[in-house]
Amino acid sequence: MLSLAVELRDDTKDASHEAIGLATYSNSKSTVLSYASIFESLWMQSELYEKLESANEQLKVHDKIQREFINIAAHELRSPIQPILGLTEILRSRINDNEGRELMDVVVRNAKRLQHLTENILDVTKIESQSLQLNRDLCRLNDIITIAIQDCKIRLII
C-alpha cells in the first residue's frame, strides 16, 4: 500500500504546488503518519517562533517608550524642586519663631529628598544606557538617623 502525506502550508494560494508545504511518499502508512506528525510539529514551531519574535519586538518598543517616559518624568519633577527649595529658604529666613523654622526645615529636607529621588531615577536611566559615572560620597549615619527622628517628631506635632 502506497501513501502520500501532504502538509498544506498556505490555503490562500491558487496553485496546489504553491499551497503545499511539505510532502512525503512511502509504502508504509505508519511512516507517512510519522512524517506528517513531524511536519505538523515543525510548522507549529515555526509559527510559534514568528509569534515569539513579534512579541519580542513589541517588548523592545514598550521598553524604549517606558525608559523615555521615566527619563522625561524625572526631568519634569526636577524642574519645580529648585524654586521650592529657593523660596522655602527665603521664607525660612523671614520667620522669627522656632516652630515655624522647624516646619520650614521639614519642607526643605523633604524637597531635597524629592530632589535626591529624581536624581536616582535619572541615574537608573543612565545605568540602563551605560552612561553613568559613579562618584563616592561620604555620609554620616548619625546625621541621617537624627534627621529621620526630627521628621517623625514634626509629623506628630502636625
- Give the DSSP letter of residue 155: H
CA angle in degrees (0–180, nearest 5) for 133-138-143: 135
Per residue, the 3-state secondary structure of 73-99, as one string, reads HHHHHHHHHHHHHHHHHHHHHHCCCHH
Question: Residue 87 pLDDT more than 70?
Answer: yes
Closest CA to 91 of 80, 78, 100, 79: 100
Mean pLDDT throughout 138-156?
86
First to last CA, the chain: 93
- Across the chain, mean pLDDT equals 84
In a 3-state reduction of DSSP, which class is residue 109? helix
Give the model's pLDDT for residue 26.
73
- Confidence (pLDDT) at 35: 75
* Residue 158 pLDDT: 59
Looking only at the bridges linking them, the beta strands covering 20-26 and 3-8 are antiparallel
Q: Determine the average pLDDT of the residues in 17-43.
A: 76
Share above pLDDT 70 across residues of the chain, in percent, rounded to a whole number: 92
Rounded Cα–Cα distance for residues 91 and 146 (Å):
24
> What average pLDDT score do residues 94-112 get?
88
Q: Is it the case that residue 7 has pLDDT exceeding 90?
A: no
Residue of 48 and 25 predicted with greater confidence = 48
Instruction: Sketch the domain layout of the chain as residue ranges.
Output: 81-157
Mean pLDDT is lowest, of 24-28, 70-74, 83-87, 102-106, for 24-28
Q: What pLDDT is stored for residue 1 in this prediction?
A: 60
